[in-house]
Amino acid sequence: MPVQQRLTPHLARLEAEAIGNLREGAAAFRQPVLLYSIGKDSSVLLHLALKAFFPGKPPFPLLHIDTTWKFKEMIRFRDGIAERLGLEMLVHTNQEGLVRGINPIASGSALHTQVMKTEALRQALDKYGFDAAFGGARRDEEKSRAKERIFSFRGPGHAWDPRAQRPELWSLFNTRIHQGESMRIFPLSNWTEYDVWDYIAAQDIPVVPLYFAALRPVVRRSGTWIMVDDNRLPLEQGETPETRMVRFRTLGCYPLSGAVESAATTLPDIIAEMRAARSSEREGRLIDNDTDASMERKKREGYF
């Protein structure tokens, strides 16, 4: 039975919409790029891109912004994917930030995100001259994202002006931009976290093993479990890593990604656990809770 028939009408509709958005971005822009963050949403986005341009390959490279603090397993997964699919994977790190010694532990999450993610992304987009960037962000993630367009216009300097967004009617996207301006495109805008996992299960899409529960070395901090992924995480007085059965709902820089205790080792386990969950997926992200409107501010500065 073709895979297509395993999708519910709801998922089939989301898939077709996302494929349409990917094709639109590729057709309307001079030099698009797919921002690949290694997480589950990126995995879905990449899978859809492979489908959208079949039997050809996606007519754009992938770009990963590497803060140098990602989980080791993420980097292994990233390199494996690029090689297996034969796609160009650009990796960019803010070298200036590295020289300044910016890191998530001593610098704090806000400054680290600003320099190693937001600024790094702007650097990479400018360096390669990309005029459109696909991202896996979804509107159900966060309330300022809920207001964002599928084709989200960025002025000079990649700034987002939430009060001057282009009205987005039907699927007639206004893809016109001037030199120096760009577009962020979010094909998964209308997907929920449930949809993403249901789709991963239906299509057998490979994801980083960190999403599945396993015994991992962790320490308890700020009410969550932080994984000791390497020896750069300074242990506080009296703190000893313990081995616990944990998994991650979202992935980012390891010192900023909280794990949950879980026994979910398969996709059906994960989906069942999510349906029973009483907190949103971004809870495990330490960077969103800094201030009241922290996501909106980060986005105005050019963050994804």
Contact positions toward other proteins, by CB under 8 A? 2-4, 8-10, 12-13, 15-17, 19-20, 23-24, 26-27, 50-57, 139-140, 142-147, 162-163, 165-172, 174, 176-178, 189-190, 192, 194, 277-280, 283, 292-293, 296
Cβ atoms 162, 300 nearer than 8 A: yes
Return the beta strands (E) in 68-139 as ranges. Answer: 89-92, 132-134
Q: How far is the CB of 215 from other proteins (least distance, A)?
A: 26
Under a CB-based contact definition with an 8 Å cutoff, are residues 115 and 100 in contact?
Answer: yes
CB of 247 to other proteins, least distance (A): 18
* Residue 178: burial class (beta carbons within 10 Å; 0-12, 13-18, 19+): exposed
- Of 100 and 147, nearer to other proteins (C-beta) is 147
Q: How far is the CB of 55 from other proteins (least distance, A)?
A: 6
27/235 with CB nearer other proteins = 27
Query: For the purposes of burial, counting CB atoms within 10 Å of the CB of 156, is it exposed (0-12), middle (13-18) or buried (19 or more)?
Result: exposed
Indicate the DSSP class of residue 119. Answer: I
CB of 92 or CB of 221, closer to other proteins:
221
All residues at 6 or more sequence positions from 76 whose CB lies less than 8 Å from its CB, including other chains: none
**52/81 with CB nearer other proteins:** 52
Give min distance, CB of 173 to other proteins, in A: 8
Question: For other proteins, which is the closer residue by CB, 5 or 237?
Answer: 5
